[in-house]
Structure 1
């Protein structure tokens, strides 16, 4: 064998050894951890792209990057990522996800990057992102989201980049909370956000952050009927009237001694459709100062204080 042939043989052998080493590394995770079928795993990174997956596969607890892009995942079950407390990056974009339920991202206390764009998401549970204190980047663009419940992003204290553009957002009075949030992001300089209106057509393409209550014809609540003082006669029924108007229709909340009344904890209390507070089978413990508050996204207003006395 000539020197040139020997050198060529050595190079081929070296290339073979390198290829084998790479193949072993690709499927290697920490001892005791398995790699999902057909996925590529290297250390704490798991990549399962273009595999026609319809559900989230089980992965090792030490996984820090989970890449599930370009599959056919339609839903995320609550607890799907439970025990993945080391997860830093979760890529779920380019799937067929339609909704995000509460508990979908349970246990992901160290998650920083969450990619959900290019799905078919229509609804987000308001508690979907409640326990993600370190989340810095949330991409939800190019979905089918029409409405967002106030407070959906309230707990994202580390947020730096939020994308909601290219959805089907209805910019009505109910979206003013999001406009306020985006303005707060811009003023702080710590976060960037993008969200655009799809409806109504006259403001299509507008940034949600630029929307004002006036152009949406949102009206702050106004009281049209005030409650009056009443006396407690044990066993009787007392009615406190409260009526309010506004756009959108105001929510009526009753206070006793400056504390909100819960209709669920006391069956004697009822809130009627017109806002009237009905107290059945009155007791001496019902005595106090009562006040009605009317509230919507444009603001809130309170009635005069009234007394229920013996």
Structure 2
């Protein structure tokens, strides 16, 4: 019994609480709670209301709902790194007004409730490293009153408004490296802030441009302000006049370019506006800005307008579509005129790619008759450019080599028997870097030279070995001849000497 009492007192002396602590957690009397690496899928209920330091690192927590921390009003240190958090409620943070450190690195956050941070008057450190954040708040957000340290490294941030960091009154350290920065006019204020700030910016050598292409890989601080420019959108629509059968599928291409990349939306004939974010199924905007209609209805006939917008301006272009029904009055169903027909579905493969070419191969997935059979056509263009190349092939051909491509570029290629390809008739590929191809050529030349040298060295070695063998044989024959000659010369002397010796002895 006394042993049990001693053990109980020893546990109390270490500060460990066995009562009022959730399963898979360890609680101490000083307010420290550890639930590290317990495969938790959510914040466990029943946490002590006196919790000051809560460590939930390296679990499988997917989200932080609004009422998660409502009883933890004394919480100051919250560790949530290494989870799978994709959403955190601003209301959840508002229930912990005393929070001083918030650690959220190694998660899946695409958005963060920045609007509540100015009301967290005690927040000193905020770690958002290695998430999927792509946007930061604008300059008009109130400052964060106590924030001294923020880590935004290894996210998907393309631009930072200089005022966002400059407006923080007590900021001492800001880590922003290893983000895909777009070095255009939207980054000018951030670039100016980097030049003027006294805030510590660690690893600034890794603050580099991801685009545009001519600045890719350059350090942001080395790019002149005059080079941080933008371009208004330009649009090319193809085709501009379309004839299509009811029930078929069509795509209107809208190649919109600009810097930064413009947002694309479409105005339909009845006035509805849709974008890539719209939830429509039959009519939708494709990732490259094209408009897909499947299946086409009679009411889809009319004028379609593609609109591209960025901070430098706006551009638009239109296309007209005529929808035709099959005329079966003569007993044979025929279209009233040339139409855009569906194509037999194909599966496309890019079998080999270099820095300037790509070999395309395709296989039909069905043997369906077309209303107007057409030969296969290969359509391809460089993503971001409006110029589209077309090659019309002979029937039966299922292999085509695209040449004269640009290195390090993304291309879209479609194979179709119709005027316009369907969504599943296309795919994208990327050409290799020119330096990589040059490296392969250099390696090839080097290996070839090494092999040639080895062959030459082998021939020389064999020749020298044969030469030495013949020379040794010649020398040996000469030595044998000399020895033989010496033997014949010394035998008579030996006999004479022996005769003299014998005579003398006798």
Q: TM-score, normalised by structure 1?
A: 0.55
Distance in 2 (CA, whole Å) between partners of 1:69 and 1:152 is: 33
Structure 2 residue aligned with 1:28, among 17, 35, 46? Answer: 17
CA displacement 1:153-196 (0-9 Å, x = unmatched): 7342000101101111112xxx32xx2232455xx665211113
Structure 1 residue aligned with 2:42, among 55, 58, 61? Answer: 55
Please state whether the residue corresponding to 1:193 is helix, strand or coil: strand
Distance in 2 (CA, whole Å) between partners of 1:89 and 1:212 is: 41
Structure 2 residue aligned with 1:132, among 120, 132, 142? Answer: 120
Inter-CA distance 110–72: structure 2 relative to 1 (3 Å threshold): same
RMSD (CA atoms): 3.7
Which runs of 5 or more structure 1 residues have no equivalent in the other structure?
1-12, 220-246, 250-295, 299-310
Inter-CA distance 86–152: structure 2 relative to 1 (3 Å threshold): farther
Q: How far has the Cα of 1:199 moved from its partner? A: 3.4
**Is 1:42 aligned to residue 31 of structure 2?**
no
Q: How far has the Cα of 1:218 moved from its partner? A: 5.7
Matches within 5 A, 1:100-119: 100-119=88-107
| Contact kept? 2:59, 2:83, Cα under 8 Å | yes
Please state whether the residue corresponding to 2:109 is helix, strand or coil: coil
Q: How far has the Cα of 1:24 moved from its partner? A: 7.6
CA displacement 1:50-85 (0-9 Å, x = unmatched): 110011112122110111001000111012111311
Aligned residues: 202
Distance in 2 (CA, whole Å) between partners of 1:205 and 1:85 is: 46
**Is 1:198 aligned to residue 180 of structure 2?**
yes
| Contact kept? 2:158, 2:180, Cα under 8 Å | yes
Distance in 2 (CA, whole Å) between partners of 1:84 and 1:63 is: 6
Which runs of 5 or more structure 2 residues have no equivalent in the other structure?
183-209, 232-259, 263-309, 313-506
**Is 1:182 aligned to residue 165 of structure 2?**
yes
Q: Looking at CA atoms only, which structure, 1 or 2, has the larger radius of gyration?
A: 2
Greater fraction of residues in helix: 2
CA displacement 1:260-283 (0-9 Å, x = unmatched): xxxxxxxxxxxxxxxxxxxxxxxx
Distance in 2 (CA, whole Å) between partners of 1:133 and 1:211 is: 37
- Say which structure, 1 or 2, has more relative contact order (CA 8 Å, 6+ apart): 1
Distance in 1 (CA, whole Å) between partners of 2:218 and 2:226 is: 18
Q: TM-score, normalised by structure 2?
A: 0.35
| Contact kept? 2:125, 2:149, Cα under 8 Å | yes
**Is 1:217 aligned to residue 222 of structure 2?**
no
| Contact kept? 2:137, 2:164, Cα under 8 Å | no
